[in-house]
Structure 1
């Protein structure tokens, strides 16, 4: 082979790389999610129901919709390509998704299209102004919160929201890393700091927020569960007896189940005042939980297992017909099946 031919081949390889390197960087906050025919097989991190529709979110701003119980999926229009880790619909049409780069998105059409309500750049400005105003008014702790904000945003607007929950179409909460906690009373048109309204002096990560039995709870680190005291408008800490991280909570008016690292689950029947450890028979992190219409509990594991409880979280057995991979979320489908999302996309399996 001649030197000219080798040179031509090298240029054919290097020119596209040089062109790619020369392209200007676009912040994921400003770059719409790219459409992909393989989106349903890509990394997905959360899934929920919007009426009869399934809505799943994942890496690079991907949001998927299914109207046939998870058999077929199509990609929604999303204005960011930041990784999304949480999604919730309090009604069939109104929904919210949240994730990295301080992003909170809203949909008013059942997930077909999304608009950005907040990002990390905006959040930095809002939190700085908020705590500076409190400091100027003589609030002694405000300067500490300002230091926390500056530390959290030292590398840019990259900190994630890890959970979002709305009681209805107006009243909602978003939680995230290093104690980030926001609230809205106007459907997310404006978000305000609740960082100072939670008993979290160590700025534990707030991993999930959920309404259960008319109460609001947050799963956190070092065995901590926070519960909203509606009279004080403040989240108070509940001691569980555990020292590791909880990733989420599931339950109803009769019981709570907090689940987390190494197959850990703790159960309460008195609104979180006392807790007892549950033997799940599993050793990997339990990252997501959901209740079926019949009251059964399903938990998803990082090791690719789904555990089922038919006795309100007292005991668990693994589902057999599940293809294992690193799971991140799950949602009931049509009463007898479950949609599971994770590193390899989405699958639908029998829930019995």
Structure 2
């Protein structure tokens, strides 16, 4: 090669190298925006707006869903994380108001597509009810601590009504004939207003102890029903001016009421599975047991269907039944689902939507004869989630042997049926990981269970099962190269050299439980730790283990192998950080600057900074390889559970309890909170490297879609 050519190539390589450095520096300055959606809220209420032909469902975590065809459901973005109690619409169906916990008021002026927060004048109360009084245009909201709010400007501003009561109001209602406002609450309280809520005549209904609350009103023909508990409800034949206490002599909590006009029959449903009916000519109520397959179940809703001139009842554990004789006899409807309907939305022309826990939605277009599931019940408490390499597949595992799977980067999820040897004792799947080679998934938990999937989590095979009476618990799985090891709490280790297809038992005597472990980025060293400072070590990929002396008596909740320096760390109670320079043979304490328990560690690769975190929002940081540590403010007291590195930017992310997601864009010096749209606890999270979506799991599944980036 000529000298000039060598110089040209060297210059070109230098320029390319500079461009790479610049690009990496730019990546480190990127700040991504995330938009969070709770995939599986508990849905508790519904509202059908006939003018826009829109059905809204709402529930926990500030969730509001809407649909115009009952097949496609859209998430309406809301600025709230509070559980929502009620949504009401004005006379035109355009302005909607939602209320909930901590004084939450949301307003929409486009039939529920978009929402913004409205000040309620405080957050030390929960709002339980809201209603629009069409004849006056006034909005009324009510809740705990005696709160009654009024709005005269279409829900934009609210003022509190002073009345001196501190009890909780549970329900609001507009009596159809007189247009009087009714309010019900604890201690048997009923109130009536004839001036659009300016003043109230409040009455405490006399009843035996314990006095039960008034929870809902229903207008059934010429009669008003006020529902309560312990088999009690009230009736009024003068539009709510006076009330008569009815006592069924049962412990029933009344859940719903309806009128069958064909048979001139009033019916009330209850959580015990008992129905109470009364014909127009009767003066007393008859109890009917809704028993299907020899069982009574919680009846959550009862409706009269005009097309079939029949009654429809739904409830828990797949309950659906029909009566054509005014509620005397009931016949089972096969829905094909075992999930519970917490309530039932009735639209027009025989259309119904049932909904409940975990985002469960089903619909019927033929008066309840057949049902179609729009969204499964995902009410699992999940412990771990992984991203399947080179795909948009996400798989999560958790309690009761639960496995859920998404093929579209967490947008939609499906329950995976795993047939365990004993379905009465399903495992608590605490560990889930991609097996060596990236082509299989392995999950493990207590009682001693290991399952494996070779098709991205669609089908699972039991590769190890220990009966419950043997008391095996698998809290952690380690993987490195072709080796995998399942840690058993009492010292029984199962190792695999074929990516989890077969497993071999090795035992180690220990008088303390083992809870977690880590594996070296290079080589075959594995480490496990646990109760009262116990730690063990393997140098052959988990085949054999030996005790090591840590010098600690604190519980060890986490361990970490620093791939940059080769150092090892053990983390534990009272802020314990132990550091080893010889692959875990000898340990020294490193003062952490906190007395809170530490659980996990994370490294910022661009600066070689280490961050450890744990209970009560504790975060400590080291910029010298773990020799010294400084406490860092996190802005939360939630327990922090899992650390991640954001693809492309290299920023650090930590998730934890109370819906906390923290991000640091300065190598752990400071932390900012990302909205997760929930306050439920997270245990784990994963980022899809293909598109940057963040999936957090625990008591909820939350998908955070990564939006456009801004340069910092």
Question: In the TM superposition, what whole-angstrom CA distance separates every residue of 1:142-198 from its partner, at most 9, and x where no partner exists?
Answer: xxx5xx25xx5xxxxxxx73456574796644544455655556666x4x444x225
Higher helix share: 1
| Higher alpha-carbon Rg | 2
Task: Pick closer, same or farther for the CA change 1:231–1:281 going to 2, 3 Å.
Answer: closer
Structure 1 residue aligned with 2:409: 69
- Note the aligned Cα RMSD (angstroms): 4.2
Which shows bigger deviation, 169-178 or 50-59? 169-178
Tell me which of the two structures has the higher relative contact order, counting C-alpha pairs closer than 8 angstroms and 6 or more residues apart: 1
Deviation for aligned residue 1:267: 0.5
Higher strand share: 2
Q: Provide the secondary structure at the position in 2 that maps to 1:239.
A: coil
8 Å CA contact 2:579–2:588 kept in 1: the answer is: yes
Structure 2 residue aligned with 1:157: none
Q: Distance in 2 between matches of 1:38 and 1:313?
A: 39
8 Å CA contact 1:206–1:221 kept in 2: the answer is: yes
8 Å CA contact 1:173–1:182 kept in 2: the answer is: yes
Question: In the TM superposition, what whole-angstrom CA distance separates every residue of 1:318-344 from its partner, at most 9, and x where no partner exists?
Answer: 113533311111111244321000113
Q: How does 1:130-145 map to 2 (within 5 A)?
A: 130-131=508-509, 145=510
Deviation for aligned residue 1:263: 1.3
Deviation for aligned residue 1:350: 3.2
Question: In the TM superposition, what whole-angstrom CA distance separates every residue of 1:215-250 from its partner, at most 9, and x where no partner exists?
Answer: 443332111233454456455543312211112111
8 Å CA contact 2:538–2:545 kept in 1: the answer is: no
Task: Pick closer, same or farther for the CA change 1:349–1:7 going to 2, 3 Å.
Answer: closer
Which shows bigger deviation, 229-238 or 286-295? 229-238
8 Å CA contact 1:57–1:84 kept in 2: the answer is: yes
8 Å CA contact 2:520–2:563 kept in 1: the answer is: no
Question: In the TM superposition, what whole-angstrom CA distance separates every residue of 1:16-64 from its partner, at most 9, and x where no partner exists?
Answer: xxxxxxxxxxxxxxxxxxx999574310112233414433221123233
Q: Distance in 2 between matches of 1:77 and 1:99?
A: 14
Structure 1 residue aligned with 2:637: 283
8 Å CA contact 1:219–1:247 kept in 2: the answer is: yes
- State TM-score, norm by structure 1: 0.68
Q: Provide the secondary structure at the position in 2 that maps to 1:329.
A: strand
8 Å CA contact 1:85–1:162 kept in 2: the answer is: no
8 Å CA contact 2:427–2:449 kept in 1: the answer is: no
The structure 2 residue matched to 1:92, chosen from 404, 428, 438, is 438
Unaligned runs of 5+ in 2: 1-275, 277-286, 297-337, 340-374, 467-471, 475-487, 494-505, 708-712
Structure 1 residue aligned with 2:382: 44
8 Å CA contact 2:536–2:548 kept in 1: the answer is: no
- State TM-score, norm by structure 2: 0.36
Q: How does 1:141-156 map to 2 (within 5 A)?
A: 145=510, 148-149=511-512
Is 1:116–2:116 an aligned residue pair?
no
Unaligned runs of 5+ in 1: 15-34, 132-144, 153-159
Is 1:339–2:695 an aligned residue pair?
yes
Q: How does 1:158-177 map to 2 (within 5 A)?
A: 161-162=515-516, 167=521, 172-177=526-531
Q: Provide the secondary structure at the position in 2 that maps to 1:290.
A: strand
Q: Distance in 2 between matches of 1:186 and 1:230?
A: 16
Which shows bigger deviation, 232-241 or 296-305? 232-241
